[in-house]
Structure 1
Amino acid sequence: MATVAEFTLAADEFPLGTVFATLPDVTVQLERVIPDTNGVVPYFWVRGTESDTIVKQFSDHPGVRDIRVVDSTDGETLMRCAWVPEYDGVLDALITPEVVLLSAIGTEKQWTFELRGESRKAIAEFREYCHDHGIPVSLTELHALRPLDVKQNLTDSQRDALILAYERGYFDSPRGTTLKEIADDLEISQQALGARLRRGNRRLIEQTLTEFRP
């Protein structure tokens, strides 16, 4: 059965984490990781700083071979970076076909990775790879992934609230909107919206995730 796992890693244990030494307030989010004949090329968003200061901060890392800004919009900068192979570290583990990177967000405190594996064995092999290569990841969550008929398990109001919150970036970090703005659009109170989101999330979690002890 497909399995979803969450891992954490100290900020300075991941190559992109070097930016936090000089820009502690930024947030870095991996967009995707692409294998290349000369190494691994990550694409990532940086939030919380001006784009003209970012390239230099990342360029100071000895593993950076090439880094450039791809796009900038609304205070966020999309970047691509090529690394010297010996610095790839956990990036190599993230491009194996047995696991899919769902999200990866870094802050000054730590990196949080969410992965989907074809089975618990795939997740175990990812952990073993990291252990064998001296990458100190910590497993914090492990769930079995189950199919869900959303229409059957959510009310219309819960589904509409969750979709609107998702589309407006309410679940992003940093948030793209506020609870009040969404409530105003739905013409309900913030308390009513909060209750819908909580009940909807509860139903989704109950129906899709079975928690295991790692």
Structure 2
Amino acid sequence: MATILEFTLPADEFPLGSVFETLPDVTVTMERLLPQASLIVPYFWVRGGQPEDIESDFEAHPGVNSIDLIDSVEDEYLMRAEWDQEYAGVLNTLADDDITVLSAVGTKDGWDFEVRGESREKISEFRTTCQEDGIPIEITAVHALLPIQGNGYELTDTQREALVLAYERGYFDSPREASLEDVAEELGITQQSLSSRLRRGHRRLIGGTLITP
């Protein structure tokens, strides 16, 4: 049975985290993770900085083979970086253990990951590998991915909890009755973790209710 793992990681324990040293106001959101032979190729959105500064900062990293600006939407920039596996850190572990990255959001305060393994055993293998390799992940949630109410879409328990609480507190009202910070504080998680859960939950709800297979 597919299993979801949520974990946090210190900012400097992830290759993309080098940008926070010189650009502390930047937020990085992973778009997708693609393993290729000797390369790990992450696509990511960056907000809070200028593309030339971001490119310059990443190019200074010894493990960067290349970095390119792919697209931009207002003040967010889609970028693509190729990293040598030697410097990829947790990216190598995720790829080697066949773990799918559902979301990853990073700030100077750290990274929040949501990943999926095809089974609980796969997730267990990933956790063991991280321990053996000294990758300091901190587990925040582990749960099976099950359809809810017999519908064709899937929500994790934490996504459903976040969506329901945000709705009940008036986060989706206009004007808002509660802020992202308010809801995150009540759940006992960071704002970036909450934002990730809401975004993933919205995607699954829309995919299961509005999109025709």
2:27 aligned with 1:18, yes or no?
no
| Count of residue pairs the alignment pairs up | 166
How far off its partner does 1:95 sit?
Answer: 2.3
Deviation at residue 190 of structure 1 after TM alignment: 4.3
Structure 1 match to 2:208? none
CA distance in 2, matches of 1:29, 1:126: 22
Q: How far does residue 35 in structure 1 lie from its aligned partner after superposition?
A: 1.5
Can you list the C-alpha shifts for 1:20-70, whole angstroms capped at 9, x where unaligned?
Answer: 001111100111111122311111110111222110011111111111111
Matched, 1:110 2:73: no
Q: Distance in 2 between matches of 1:145 and 1:38?
A: 31
Tell me, what secondary structure is at the counterpart of 1:28? strand
Partner of 2:191: none
Q: By how many angstroms is 1:75 displaced?
A: 0.5
The alpha-carbon deviation at position 191 of structure 1 amounts to: 4.7
| 2:54 maps to amino acid | I
Larger Rg computed on CA atoms: 1
The match for 2:47 is 47
Q: Name the CA distance, whole Å, in 2 between partners of 1:135 and 1:190.
A: 39
Counterparts of residues 188-203 of structure 1 (less than 5 Å): 190-191=176-177
Find the aligned partners of 1:98 and 1:72 in 2 and give their Cα distance.
Answer: 30
2:89 maps to 1:89: yes
Normalising to structure 1: TM-score of the pair?
0.69
In the TM superposition, residue 145 of structure 1 has moved relative to its aligned partner by 1.7
Please identify runs of 4+ aligned residues in structure 1 that moved more than 6 A.
none
* Contact 1:51–1:72 (Cα < 8 Å) also in 2: no
Check 1:149–1:47 CA distance in 2 against 1; reply closer, same or farther (3 A cut). same
Which secondary structure does the structure 2 equivalent of 1:57 belong to?
helix
Q: Map of 1:1-214 to 2, 5 A cutoff?
A: 1-96=1-96, 98-149=98-149, 183-184=173-174, 190-191=176-177
In the alignment, residue 20 of structure 1 is paired with which amino acid?
F
CA contact under 8 A between 2:8 and 2:111: conserved in structure 1? yes
Give 1:149 shift: 3.2
| Aligned equivalents of 1:73, 1:150: Cα separation in 2 | 37
Using the aligned pairs only, state the percent identity: 50
- In 2: Cα distance, 1:7 partner to 1:73 partner: 28
Structure 1 residues 146 and 67: alpha-carbon distance in aligned structure 2, compared to 1, 3 A threshold:
same
Structure 2 distance, partners of 1:84, 1:191, is 46
Deviation at 1:96? 4.2
1-side partners of 2:142 and 2:108: how far apart? 24
Name stretches of at least 5 consecutive residues in structure 1 with no aligned partner.
Answer: 152-161, 166-177, 195-200, 205-214
| Aligned-residue offset at 1:94 | 2.0
Cα drift, residue 84 of structure 1: 1.7
1:140/1:22 CA distance change after superposition, 3 Å = same
The superposition leaves residues 83-120 of structure 1 with CA deviations (integer Å, 9 ceiling, x where unpaired) of: 12211111112224642211001110111110112222
Consecutive unaligned residues in structure 2, runs of 5 or more: 152-162, 181-197, 202-213
Matched residue SS, 1:149: coil
What is the TM-score of this pair, normalised by structure 2?
0.69
